[in-house]
Structure 1
Amino acid sequence: MEAVKVVGGGIAGLALAACLDPGRFRVTVHERLAEPPSVETSLAMWPEAQRALDEVGILPAVRAAGSDFGGMALRDGSGNVVLTARPSRVLGVSRADLLRLLDAAVPASVVRAYGTVASPPGPGLVVGADGVHSIVRRSVWGERSGARLTPYLALRGIIDDAVPPGVGGEYWGRGQLFGIAPASRGRTYWYASYRSDLGPGGIDVGEALALTRGRFSGGAAEIGRVLAAAVPGETLAQRVWTVPFPGSYRRDSAVLVGDAAHGMAPNLGRGACEALIDAATLAGLLNSRPLPEALRLYNRRRLLRSQSLRVASSGMARLALAERGQPLRDGLLRLAHRPGGAGAVER
């Protein structure tokens, strides 16, 4: 049997471990923490990611745990609709539920190793599924592949109230955005982003929440309602990091998946989706092809697609968080929303 060492027990690592053929591979998952994240967030599962979940074998369970995103809107900072969208077949699911279901899908034959990984474990194929700050990427691809800090702070959280009709979507103000979306079990998922000097590490969530309430005061009433209900224990506050282009997702006996390969700004909502697609693609090739061919085909199939989304997400972040160009941006978006424009978007 061939040894596969998966560094990282998040979405990409668990999905890969769940899909690899236990009759062919001796799989070990190395994870720093034995417990799931304590703060819930919500993820949008686009159709391609749902197909990957089907390959893992958990799509029905994810659908049962999740909720339909339904109609969404792009609004200005005061809440006025600028564009509307009707996402087709987009499923929302909490990260905690997704990780729980992925973890349950991992075969009992997979070895779990908990603790900090200081260098890529060998021998065998090493899979870097260890996120934006991947030790596998930095060890094998070099320190120049290290994560890049953006100027943006991102907050995410869940409140117990449901999203009222007609308020869901993203609110784009001057240099700041706020998102409101339905979450599982009738709750609301919210997120906010803007430029900040907080961090990058050790951010006090209470301080970040207070700063955010101040930043968005005087804007849409629904934003104020959500932030009034937000509490530090149900909120994450992190600086946004991205990953530079690594040139290739395979090198020597190592391969990258998920955020370790293409960590991107969160503005397209595709990070978790692409991690699942990476894992399903790599597992399918490893299960059916010789190792060198499988890695070559994985790189060919995933590099251009995921890197184009990484670049697009950075562009979307700059557009959504525009400061000096905000009036021009909003004017162009309103023009697109006029009758005969592109205001109603079907995805």
Structure 2
Amino acid sequence: METISIVGGGIAGLALAACLDPARFQVTVYEKRPELPTVGTALGMWPNAQRALDRIGVLGAARAVSPVIGSGSVRNAAGEPWVTVDGGEMFGISRIDLLRLLDSAVPGTVRRLTGQVQALPADDGLVVGADGVHSVIRRAAWGARSAATLTPYLALRGTLPFPVTPDVVGEYWGRGDLFGMAASNGGMFWYASYRSGRGPYGIDSTAVLEEARERFAGHAQAVREVLAAATPEACLVQRIWTAPGLHSFVRGRTVLIGDAAHAMLPTLGRGACESLVDAVTLADLLNTLPEDQALRAYNRQRRLRTRALSLASSALGRVALAEGAQPLRDRLLNLARRRKDRAAVGRGSTA
């Protein structure tokens, strides 16, 4: 049997292990954490990610534990909506629930090893780097220049055990900061981001939560209420890192998937989705083609697509987190809203 070593037992790594043909491959998953996380965020599942979940066999179970996103608005800091977006059939799943479902889909033939991988596995098989933005595999195979890039932004995320009403769902864009909230299983999920010099490691969630309450004190009442109710124990705080734009996701018999390949700003909400698509795409190609052909096809199908999304997420991040240009951004969005309102009135008068 051919051997495949998957370094990283997160979303991308588990999804890949779940889809590889156990009759053809001897698969080993290396994961540094012995247990699934107990605090997580909510992840919006776009249609391409839903198709990947269906391929893995967990789409129905994922929908069963996830509320439909419905519609949400991009708003100014005071809560006045600029743009309302219909989420259609998208749903938001807890990262914990998603990891649990992916873990349950991995065949029993897959070997699990716990511990920090410091270098490329020594066997002669295919090595898959699914070990996140700070990928050891990427640095080992692509060199020091492939190290992750630290952005100036901090991300604070949390959950609360009470529901969020549809009239406040969405994102609130202020001056150099944004705040968002959405429904999640059993309550609500919220997130905030702004420039920060804290960290990049060992950031105290209690101090950041107090800082956020002060920073967002002038925002809409719904934002203030969420932060007032938030607790450090139900929060995750980290500086945001991104992966460099690689010319290829394949080097020899090493291939990257998920955040190891294309970690991006979270402004588009596509990181987890693209990780799932990476995994399913690579698995199906490896299951049906010789390895060299499969790797070339994977690189061709996924690199440019994810690079475009990474660039788009960066561009949207500059708009959402604008500081000096914030007044101009707000004027343009207010103008667009008024034009849309006038057009809607005009259509109603001719009906």
Cα distance in 2 between the residues matched to 1:23 and 1:165 = 48
* CA distance in structure 2 between the aligned counterparts of 1:20 and 1:342, rounded to whole angstroms: 54
- Residue matched to 1:69: 69
Match of 2:150 in 1: 149
The correspondence of residues 98-247 of structure 1 with structure 2, limited to 5 A, is 98-121=98-121, 122-185=123-186, 187-247=187-247
Q: Secondary structure at the match of 2:206?
A: helix
* Alignment of 1:258 onto 2:258: yes
Task: Note the 1:77-88 alignment, pairs <5 A.
Answer: 77-88=77-88
Whole-Å separation in 1 of the counterparts to 2:215 and 2:43: 25
**Residues 145, 244 of structure 1: 8 Å contact kept:** yes
Structure 1 moving runs of 4+ over 6 Å: 341-344
**How far is the alpha carbon of 1:36 from its aligned partner?**
1.1
User: Which sections of structure 1, spanning at least 5 residues, go unmatched?
Assistant: none
Q: Distance in 1 between matches of 2:249 and 2:136?
A: 14
Measured on the aligned residues, the alpha-carbon RMSD in Å equals 1.3
CA distance in 1, matches of 2:69, 2:333: 22
The TM-score with structure 1 as length reference comes to 0.97
* Equivalent pair of 1:15/1:280 in contact (CA under 8 Å): yes
Cα offsets for 1:174-196 (capped at 9, x unmatched)? 000000100112x1100000000
Match of 2:46 in 1: 46
SS at 1:166's partner residue? helix
How far does the alpha carbon of each residue in 1:225-259 deviate from its partner, in whole angstroms, 9 at most, with x for none? 10011101100000000011111000011000000
**What is the number of equivalent residue pairs in this alignment?**
343
Deviations 1:85-114 (A, max 9, x none): 112211110000000000000000000000
Query: 1:143 corresponds to which letter in structure 2?
Result: A
SS class of match (2:6)? strand
SS in 2 for 1:133: coil
Paired amino acid for 2:325: G
1:342–1:229 CA distance, 2 compared to 1 (3 A):
farther
Q: Distance between the aligned counterparts of 1:115 and 1:342, measured in 2?
A: 60
Measure the CA separation in 2 of the matches of 1:170 and 1:247. Answer: 34
Is there any run of 5+ residues in structure 2 with no aligned partner, and where? 345-351
How far apart are residue 335 of structure 1 and its match? Answer: 1.8
Contact persistence 1:83–1:343 (CA under 8 A): no
Please give the alpha-carbon distance, in whole angstroms, between the structure 2 residues aligned to 1:342 and 1:112.
60
**Contact 2:78-2:220 at 8 Å conserved across structures:** yes
Indicate the SS of the match to 2:165. coil
Q: CA deviation at 1:342?
A: 11
Q: Distance in 1 between matches of 2:342 and 2:43?
A: 26
Q: Which amino acid aligns with 1:55?
A: R
Query: Aligned partner of 2:43: which letter?
Result: L
AA at the equivalent of 2:176: G
Q: Deviations over 1:266-286 (max 9, x none)?
A: 000000000000000000000
> 2:268 maps to which residue?
268
Are residues 68 and 296 of structure 1, via their aligned partners in 2, closer, same or farther at CA, if it must alter by over 3 Å? same
- Structure 2 distance, partners of 1:336, 1:275, is 34
Residue 332 of structure 1: how far off its partner (Å): 1.1
Equivalent residue of 1:227, what SS? helix
Aligned partners of 1:335 and 1:341 also within 8 Å: no
Aligned: 1:94 with 2:91 = no
Which position in structure 2 is the counterpart of 1:287?
287
Q: CA deviation at 1:218?
A: 2.0
1:4 matched to 2:4? The reply is: yes
Give the TM-score, by structure 2 length.
0.96
Query: Residue in 2 aligned with 1:298?
Result: 298
CA drift of 1:37 comes to 1.4
Amino acid at match of 1:167: V
- 1:342 and 1:270 map into 2 onto residues whose CA distance is 33
After TM superposition, give the deviation of residue 341 of structure 1 in Å: 7.2
Q: What SS does the corresponding residue of 1:68 show, helix, strand or coil?
A: coil
Q: Secondary structure of the equivalent of 1:212? A: helix
* Other-structure match for 2:249: 249
1:148 and 1:242 in contact (8 A); partners too: yes
**Identity level (%):** 56
CA contact (8 A) 1:44 1:93 kept: yes
The letter of the residue matching 2:203 is: I
Deviation (angstroms), 1:10: 0.2
Whole-angstrom distance in 2 between the partners of 1:45 and 1:299: 23
Structure 1 counterpart of 2:7, one-letter code: V
> In the aligned structure 2, how far is the partner of 1:197 from the partner of 1:89?
38
- 2:348 corresponds to which residue? none
* Structure 2 contact 72–166 (Cα < 8 Å) conserved: no
Whether the aligned pair in 2 keeps the contact of 1:131 and 1:259 (CA below 8 Å) is yes
Cα deviation code 1:123-174 (max 9, x no counterpart): 2000000000000000000110000000000000100110023000000000
